[in-house]
Structure 1
Amino acid sequence: MRKKVATKKFIELLELVEKLRGPNGCLWDKEQTHASLLPYFLEETYEVMESIDEEDWDTLKEELGDIMLHVALQSQISMENGRFDISDTLGHVNEKLVRRHPHVFGDKNVDASFHAKQNWETAKHEEKGRTSRLDGVPSSLPALLRSQRLQEKASYVGFDWKKIDHVWDKVYEEIDELKRAQESGDSDHIKEEIGDVLFAIVNLSRFLGVPGEDALRQANKKFTHRFQAIEKELKRKGKTFAESSLNEMDGIWNSVKKNN
């Protein structure tokens, strides 16, 4: 069975990490701490996201392995400091999955994925003894992603629009307020209203079932592709940006847009 193979490979990973951190191990690995590994962990996480965006499954396989390496390293460091080991981590997540899925492992019924997630959030809130339903959304998250998570948490307790028309109205309202702020010339007010517009757009994307972070990454990718096409075409013509008009560059952009 694949489970047996996976178990064997996972144990092998733990043993390799233990040796790397051991007396005769790697100097670099032995020097690492929980904090020093954070930049590398974040980088690996973004590489996982990129491989999924690119639908590059071979790379995803490799990048998920790198994430597991970080899990093993962090757990090994913690064990060396007498805090917890990997079995504690696995036991905790297994218990949590059962506890927060009463509709699967208990007698509670749900009729939609929204209600399943609602159960999860309620259980999480009660377990951690939080005072606010918005607690637990890391302030270190990218701002766009954090906006969506805050909106989701508010939605789970009923603080949400019922119809998408209301969401659109809010978007238009915030855009109008931004226009008025721009006319006033007050930079602080403009900044505030731009934030409100972005927050409203994130809410619209959430309401439409589209993760805003994913949509923006796709837009970045599309912009990069089209801009690089302009660079390539100008180079073919032997021209620089300074020698090209905006109309010419826009024409190339529209041609690429039409053909893709």
Structure 2
Amino acid sequence: MDREAAPGGDALSELVAVMDRLRSPGGCPWDAQQTHLSLVPYLLEEAAELAEAIEDDDRAGLREELGDVLLQVVFHARLAQEHPDDPFDVQGVAADLVAKLVRRHPHVFADASAAADEEGQHAAWDRLKRAEKDRASAFDGVPRGLGALARAQKLVARAERSGAVGDVPREDGDGLGERLFALVLEARRSGLDAEGELRRVTAAWEARQRAAGV
């Protein structure tokens, strides 16, 4: 059958089977040695490469990098099957995701009048997530491993949706950190992605420097 015409489930099932073969005895020695922790650098790298393909409007790259990110999901799910006490597989991951998406979109799957505008939908999502995970703060769950700019932007967005954005923090005068944080607030209020804007300008600067022979 033509792979392009095959239903998505067939190719996904084949991917799971290939990953199982690679991980099983007689498969790939490198794959057999990996752990969730050892794969973290690859996950971060693949996510960065996917973002780059999107920003470069690279359709072929987008397709390839989506596959590489999907591989990370399937690989981690395959490792999870081997846990002695709490195993799960990619079907369980998908089932949990389906349930979460339905639960967190009541305006689509239940009450069509709820959270009519986009900002209201974001606020409702945060509220439902906080209740589900029994979080004490709207800031809980923002990864500490995010870059400083991206994390500041995420925290500001959470605070804004909670109606609690304060002033720029002041510690030792108008230092560099305070000015950077003020720019994050400015970007948020202007509807801009500060992280994306910085990547865009950096890429343009890099291109000019390369053209100049740097």
What's the TM-score once normalised by structure 1's chain length? 0.75
Gaps of 5+ in 2: none
Q: CA–CA distance in 2 between the matches of 1:226 and 1:78?
A: 46
The size of the alignment, in residue pairs, is 208
1:63 maps to: 65
Deviation at 1:88, TM superposition (A): 1.2
Partner Cα separation in structure 2 for residue 22 and residue 97 of structure 1? 32
Matching residue's letter, 1:81: H
Show the counterpart of 1:34.
36
Letter in 1 for 2:60: D
Output the CA distance in 1 between the equivalents of 2:207 and 2:100.
43
Report the Cα offset of residue 14 of structure 1: 0.1
> 2:90 corresponds to which residue?
86
SS at match of 2:213: helix
What residue in structure 2 maps to residue 18 of structure 1? 20
Which residue does the alignment assign to 2:108?
104
Greater shift in the superposed pair: 103-112 or 56-65:
103-112
Percent sequence identity over aligned pairs: 37
Tell me the CA shift for residue 28 of structure 1. Answer: 0.3
Distance 1:14 1:196, change over 3 A: same
SS at 1:158 equivalent: coil
The answer for the alignment partner of 1:43 in structure 2 is: 45
Unaligned 5+ residue runs, structure 1?
Answer: 162-169, 178-187, 233-260
Compared with structure 1, are the counterparts of its residues 124 and 3 closer, same or farther at alpha carbon in structure 2 (3 Å cutoff)?
Answer: farther
CA deviation map 1:153-209 (0-9, x unaligned): 111111248xxxxxxxx78xx8xx8xxxxxxxxxx947x821111111011111111
Hey, what's the Cα distance between the residues in 2 that align with 1:84 and 1:62? 27
Q: CA deviation at 1:80?
A: 1.3
- Give 2:64's aligned amino acid: E
Give the AA of the match of 1:142.
G
Query: Which residue of structure 2 lines up, in the alignment, with residue 123 of structure 1?
Result: 128
Q: Structure 2 length normalisation: TM-score?
A: 0.91
The structure with the greater share of residues assigned to helix is 1
- 2:96 maps to 1:114: no
Encode CA deviations 1:45-81: one digit per residue, 9 max, x unaligned.
1100110111001011001001111111100001012
The residue identity in structure 1 corresponding to 2:189 is F
CA contact under 8 A between 2:54 and 2:62: conserved in structure 1?
yes
